[in-house]
Amino acid sequence: MAASLQLFLTGGSGNSDPNASLGGVRSSTQVSGTAMNNLFDNVTPAEASAGDIEYRAIDIYNNGDAAAESIQAYLDPETTSEDTEIDLGLDSTTQTVGNESTAPTDVTFAHYTSSSKLSISNIAASGAQRLWLRRTVSSSAGNLANDSCTLKIEFA
């Protein structure tokens, strides 16, 4: 079978709570559908007023028999709110952060779109790559009922 990439929460093998996807061991809960739509919690009025930065970690896992090559990650479409942004960063460790407001160490974040994609090293069969997401909410953010974006992973 060819390479087959799947996204998983982190936070321990039994974790099914996206809010606890803060690194550590890969979860058995695959990120898709509802889980991906709710990877970050709702922005509270206090967070919208003051601004907020939160982090989540997911694993890109190769469930196939061959290596996944030429891997690229990006957002398309980007967040629907003009007051939020999702940035991506790679991590070669299985570090855990203490809470959603703590940045992982040695992870460089940048904004990736369809015109500027994050290149990821090949992932061997049964291998994984840790991907951190950072959500930034601008101070004085407006109220938007359903802020969303789509994370896309391309590979050969």
What distance in Å separates the CA atoms of residue 115 and residue 133, rounded to the nearest whole number? 18
Q: Is residue 79 part of a domain?
A: yes
88 is a domain residue: yes
Residue 43 domain flag: no
Does residue 129 sit within a domain?
Answer: yes
Query: What pLDDT is stored for residue 130 in this prediction?
Result: 98
> Number of folded domains in the chain?
1
Q: Tell whether 42 is covered by a domain.
A: no
pLDDT in tens, 98-120: 999 999 999 999 999 999 999 99
Confidence of residue 34 (pLDDT cuts 50, 70, 90): low
Q: d(Cα 15, Cα 9) in Å, to the nearest integer?
A: 7
Q: Would 16 be classed as within a structural domain?
A: yes
For residue range 56-95, what is the model confidence (pLDDT) as tens digits? 999 999 999 999 999 999 999 888 889 999 999 999 999 9
In a domain, 41, yes or no: no
Q: Give the CATH number, domain containing residue 83.
A: 2.60.40
Q: How many CA atoms lie within 13 A of 24 on its CB side?
A: 15
- Measured CA to CA, the distance from residue 147 to residue 140 in angstroms comes to 15
Q: What is the pLDDT of residue 77?
A: 86
Domain interval for residue 93 = 5-36+49-154
User: CA 29, CA 102: separation in Å to the nearest integer?
Assistant: 23
Share of residues in the chain with pLDDT > 70 (%): 97
